[in-house]
Structure 1
């Protein structure tokens, strides 16, 4: 039996991270506003837990991106497939990631893809050339490493 999962990324400011990764991957930022409105109306959540992002109510400390072709719960906006959740944490990133994403754009487009990602806020760390292949090591706007192959 397959297990449903999501990748969780600690962030200083989750909403800009979600916006970056949604653009980088061609994903969608989840819209939880319908659930938030319902919970606010019931008094189940406090307004301090909410922010506005992308012109709609959003959780202050959590936001996810999901693959646009995957199913999602229409009542909560929560993705039911491939998704990445960004959660606010108080401590800064201090060391190299133990887990990272490898992006695989179309063959022959790595340079153009790295340029696109830099325009979104990523930074190139180094170019790697090994017998097994070539790739670019980059960091997202909060310094999390990822590779473009």
Structure 2
């Protein structure tokens, strides 16, 4: 039996950090607009629970997710059924080092990948060059979450 999973990341601004990671990983930012419209029309969701984005898409306030573009998803809800990261707003700020982080693989284009991620809002922290063992950068996403690029 194969277990399904998603990674959930606490955030300060789920919408903004989902946009960053969607662009960084070349994933799709999920669009639950059709589901939200249906729930609003049926009176099953208060308007205060919804955030409308500048492009007209709607999101559940405090939540946003990204999914791999080739994985299956529910067309009504926009929710991915494969590789997926859900960002959820929490009231407290990040404190301390992550206990879990993503490794982004650059396919031999380390500097180009690091530069692209910087252009999206990431920050270089520390370069590690272990010779034949590996060469990578520790970076921070716009909310200060550590990740590595190798």
Name the TM-score class by shorter chain: over 0.9
Q: How many residues align?
A: 148
Q: Normalising by structure 2, what TM-score? A: 0.96
Q: Normalising by structure 1, what TM-score? A: 0.97
| 2:78 partner SS | coil
| 1:20 partner SS | helix
How large is the Cα RMSD of the aligned pairs? 0.8
Q: Which residue of 2 aligns with 1:17?
A: 17
| 1:117 partner SS | helix
| 1:62 maps onto 2:54 in alignment | no
Deviation for aligned residue 1:62 = 0.6
1:47-104 deviation digits (Å, cap 9, x = unpaired): 1110012421111111100000000001111000000000000000001000000011
Deviation for aligned residue 1:130 = 2.1
> Hey, what's the Cα distance between the residues in 1 that align with 2:76 and 2:129?
47
Structure 1 segments (4+ residues) deviating >6 Å: none
Q: Which residue of 2 aligns with 1:36?
A: 36
Q: Which residue of 2 aligns with 1:81?
A: 82
Structure 2: which 5+ runs fail to align? none
Q: Which residue of 2 aligns with 1:140?
A: 141
